[in-house]
Amino acid sequence: MIYFDNSATTKPYDEVINAFVKISTQFFANPSSLHDLGGQVEELLKQARLQIASLLQVKSNEIFFTSGGTEGNNLAIKGTALQYASRGKHIIISGIEHASVYETCEQLKSLGYKITYLSVDSNGQVNVEDLESAITEETILVSIMHVNNEIGAIQPIEEIGSILKNYPKVLFHVDHVQGFGKVPLDLYKANIDLCTISAHKFHGLKGNGLLFKRDGIRISPLLTGGSQEGKLRSGTENTGGIVTMAKAMRMIEDKRKEKGAELLQIRDYLVEQLGQIPQVQLNTKPSVSAPHIINFSVVGLRGEVIVHALEKEKVYVSTTSACSSKQRKLSRTLLSTGVPESLAEGAVRISLSYDNTMDEAKVFIQTLQQILEKLNMVMRDSK
């Protein structure tokens, strides 16, 4: 099996699974309980928070545990919208944000908020001058993803953060779900107020994530009812998931330092080989993209046909974001970068992990070429 769909989700590390089982069986108590076992669990959460804060080089009281990227993005955006509605109701995002940002803003728009959707260039990047021009007296939030989940485009986060220093009433949220463990980001240096991370994108477990909230920033909670997470996110903590998220974060950072260059070599090989197939058009611009995502289109074929043909050979890729792939809609991201509808229909996404190898990449290219030959032959015969 060749698994090239790591942006959808990653396989949990064995160490993560083993630690989760141990914690869930030995430290199952509620961390809010007064007894000693509850205190032990509370200490585990405290240590996990400290470890994660150290990895992100932030304060431990700036880490808030969530159920993942979607909740984190909703909490950051809606929490800001609720907290600062009296200050203004204008939010700026890019037109290629993940659905959990885009649809959240669409919902807020129906509630009277004004949303500015910044266009992107053919690389999939926003223009910082356009962003600054869009800021008004009513603007309360700018939300820009670090790494696009479909084409891998890296946004100029530090540059945007530098500009927003001139607008202290505007909060800056970054969806860092696809970037963490692949493209380093200094949260303080980039002047980020809110940042979302999800565990299952770096070999942790689904249903776990975190929101970084800069010290001193206030947002309204979406879930109330308890005092957990500083009253920002009520609900009994998922101890096993949180502790193993910290473990996965440590492991992925070690892998990045150890295998980052190798991952880039695999990506570059795939890009080069795909570029030599006449029927293939690359939608990812490697010079401005993360090292683990490649998006390409096959002229004359639908992406889902290619995905299923590869699946029969036990090679797993995707078309667009896993959150929207079954809706069979053309990619909003690809159309925003100027990719024609006819090519957007043939889009395929490869997403790598540090566990993938060059041998797998070579097998993938061979398999893809064989599949294209077969599919083209079937199309010719049917005419």
Q: Would you name the residues annotated as active-site residues?
A: 323
Sheet holding 194-198, edge to edge: 63-66, 209-213, 194-198, 171-175, 139-143, 90-94, 114-118
Q: What are phi and psi of 135, to 5 degrees?
A: -70, 135
Q: What are phi and psi of 50, to 5 degrees?
A: -65, -40
* Cα 104-213-184 angle, rounded to 5 deg: 90
Residue with tokens 């980020």: 192
- The three-state DSSP-derived secondary structure of 258-317 is HHHHHHHHHHHHHHHHHHCCCCEEECCCHHHECCCEEEEEECCCCHHHHHHHHHHCCEEC
Residue with tokens 């803003």: 105
- The three-state DSSP-derived secondary structure of 171-202 is EEEEECCCCCCCCCCCCCCCCCCEEEEEHHHC
State both tokens at 240: 């096993």
Residue with tokens 């696009």: 148
78 sits in which H/E element:
helix 69-83
Which neighbouring-strand residues pair with 63?
212
Q: What are phi and psi of 65, to 5 degrees?
A: -80, 140
Of 92, 95, 89, the closest CA to residue 111 belongs to: 89
Q: What are phi and psi of 223, to 5 degrees?
A: -115, 120
